[in-house]
Structure 1
């Protein structure tokens, strides 16, 4: 039977199209949680807009016919310098983090798994053995260490300790309403949203039964024990005193593998991460969900990489929407980038295949810009490949 010429092509050509399809498919509250930042959204907007201020200085003769994109991050070989950033409960697709893990494995890259994930670490490890487990400072030291040891037993290759978060979730455009748990009462309340998104609802029906999205965090308890609800875990997190550098040093001493500190935007904090023996840092402002008014991560990346890049691996997290954005980050000193919203939109648009689609787009865009710059390898990218406005970069917390 010939293909229906009016059928929608599952492939999308840009991350922006993935976002458009995600918005079309998801209930309003679910989609809102994927795009929101704190307060006025200054940081979440600057994270993407800042990339557009950077230009390229291309070569038009002598471009390289073959280009090397592979690298390593915290000892793991990846096919190109883009990896999955850890994000919490992924109720945009029934397979959630497992689908993302499969997609990352299919494209030869690693993923970070949130401790607030909706699938157990053991299930994710079975789909992709190149994963790093993300830790929030939640509960006692003993509880934190137990979670880390569970992840190690499952095969985690390293830890990502997230520090870039504040608890003010007020947003000028309104915060999405997320239920404590998805029970009958919550479904009834959300029914008007879900009714106009039938495809989303049907995706949760398997074998004639409704599989209600799981808003629990199973990786915060021992294997086999029921995890707390998302808001239960969030409440415990809010009531745990934030970590000190001494706390992070203690955890580093307990963990004998690669160790990343995520949330660095200051030079002095980058230096402290080096001092405690971290393997890597992620220059990150939690995708604009930390303190609003923090500069875009691409603005602070260069000075941080210049200061500590010879002592520690430097990654960037925030605002990546195109392969050319990846190129710009590498030219300013990043070893690799981590993506969040981009792959979640892909997941919402087309499940595992949608995440693979996003990764393919970033890889193709990176390869194309590398060719235009006349570089044979991502390791040859430098500042001279960019046109950087005089007042573009931000640097604070001098050492």
Structure 2
């Protein structure tokens, strides 16, 4: 029997690349335009060093923390990602894996599995949405998430519908009819393991988005591009709209996509309990700096008012530790767990989480820290040129947010 275990996220990535059809893999790794932000998200971690100790090291280390009201086993969360066609179990495999490892999960409103099923698999689920449709539609979507048992709400704001990638945009079909299946057949045939998984599961990749509507009936769900089209046609939200969303949700509320200090302050004014320093994994405006560079200024400005988490480029437990040293409460991972999912399904996601856990623990030992909550900037070496505070200006009084 083949060994399914892998020792690094990089190996999960290599397996995912081998096993996924070109179009599916391209959708997973793509960044916008030149991919500068995509690369910088990863490269920024290499500019930070550690200042380790060699004596009086702790025999036991505590990785547990609390994020958005949930006790989690380590400072890592599953970031919400759209339709997960890398494996037939999709979000359900991720939910089961994260639950098994004591990790909270973010579920995308553009995901392929109903929120009711995902919450059943991992009760520590946060629901993510965009500003799509009118207020009635948005309120209905949020009410459904609350009824399903979601523990928190995530609203993602960092998306400008940018198009064009220097290496070519992946081809994603609207639906899997006979014509489309014939078109993509060569990719499936050349990647038999991916295709065989779906054949064994008894269904083709699900390209519908069953969480966009308030109606839980899967038959009523729009396709991914149907939902995306509605999103493109919806007028952009104002901060007052985000404050209104916060009023509809009486639990933890995250604003995701913050890269500037003034926006972080506006999110706090709008009632956010958590903000995510994020550039959409390099898929938004290319040329935006790495999230790790923006993190220290934002954490310093609003870290006493809200929880600050980070996503973007996390591939190792040492990346997690560096983010915590710079002010994050936790990190969110996206591509890392999707590679594990593509490589080995639920077991692959568990493998990725175990790699991160072991690496975090090892780094705590070397830094002589008994808990992730004890990490400080003194544990790392930050070059003077690292990062920049992206605007400490505010754009108006707090009262204007509640207009």
Task: Give the TM-score band, short-chain normalised.
Answer: over 0.9
Q: Is the 8 A contact 1:299 1:392 kept in 2?
A: yes
Distance (whole Å) between structure 2 residues aligned to residue 213 and residue 237 of structure 1 = 22
* Equivalent residue, structure 2, for 1:15: 9
Structure 2: segments with no counterpart, 5+ residues: 394-403
Q: Is the 8 A contact 1:330 1:381 kept in 2?
A: yes
* Equivalent residue, structure 1, for 2:197: 203
Distance (whole Å) between structure 2 residues aligned to residue 284 and residue 367 of structure 1 = 25
Q: Is it true that 1:273 corresponds to 2:257 in the alignment?
A: no
Q: Is the 8 A contact 1:166 1:289 kept in 2?
A: no
Distance (whole Å) between structure 2 residues aligned to residue 56 and residue 86 of structure 1 = 30
Give per-residue Cα distances to partners, 1:233-286, cap 9 Å, x unaligned.
111100101111010001111111110000000000001111111100000000
* Equivalent residue, structure 1, for 2:399: none
Q: Is it true that 1:218 corresponds to 2:210 in the alignment?
A: yes
Aligned-pair CA distance for 1:226: 2.0
* Equivalent residue, structure 2, for 1:187: 181
Alignment of 1:62-81 (within 5 A): 62-81=56-75
Distance (whole Å) between structure 2 residues aligned to residue 388 and residue 362 of structure 1 = 22
Secondary structure, in 3 states, of the residue corresponding to 1:338? strand
Aligned-pair CA distance for 1:8: 3.3
Alignment of 1:353-364 (within 5 A): 353-364=347-358
* Equivalent residue, structure 2, for 1:335: 329
Secondary structure, in 3 states, of the residue corresponding to 1:206? helix
Alignment of 1:170-319 (within 5 A): 170-206=164-200, 210-221=202-213, 222-224=215-217, 225-319=219-313
Secondary structure, in 3 states, of the residue corresponding to 1:220? coil
* Equivalent residue, structure 1, for 2:371: 377
Distance (whole Å) between structure 1 residues aligned to residue 170 and residue 200 of structure 2 = 27
Secondary structure, in 3 states, of the residue corresponding to 2:257? strand
Distance (whole Å) between structure 2 residues aligned to residue 152 and residue 88 of structure 1 = 20
Aligned length: 391
Distance (whole Å) between structure 1 residues aligned to residue 344 and residue 5 of structure 2 = 9
Aligned-pair CA distance for 1:307: 0.7
Aligned structure 1 segments of 4 or more residues deviating by more than 6 angstroms: none
Distance (whole Å) between structure 2 residues aligned to residue 275 and residue 233 of structure 1 = 29
Q: Is it true that 1:91 corresponds to 2:85 in the alignment?
A: yes
* Equivalent residue, structure 2, for 1:3: none
Q: Is the 8 A contact 1:252 1:278 kept in 2?
A: yes
Secondary structure, in 3 states, of the residue corresponding to 2:247? helix
Q: Is the 8 A contact 1:91 1:214 kept in 2?
A: yes
* Equivalent residue, structure 1, for 2:48: 54
Q: Is it true that 1:134 corresponds to 2:153 in the alignment?
A: no
Distance (whole Å) between structure 2 residues aligned to residue 77 and residue 20 of structure 1 = 33
Aligned-pair CA distance for 1:181: 0.6
Structure 1: segments with no counterpart, 5+ residues: 1-6
Q: Is it true that 1:162 corresponds to 2:165 in the alignment?
A: no
Distance (whole Å) between structure 1 residues aligned to residue 342 and residue 303 of structure 2 = 35
Aligned-pair CA distance for 1:206: 2.9
Secondary structure, in 3 states, of the residue corresponding to 1:179? coil
Give per-residue Cα distances to partners, 1:108-134, cap 9 Å, x unaligned.
010000000101111101100001000
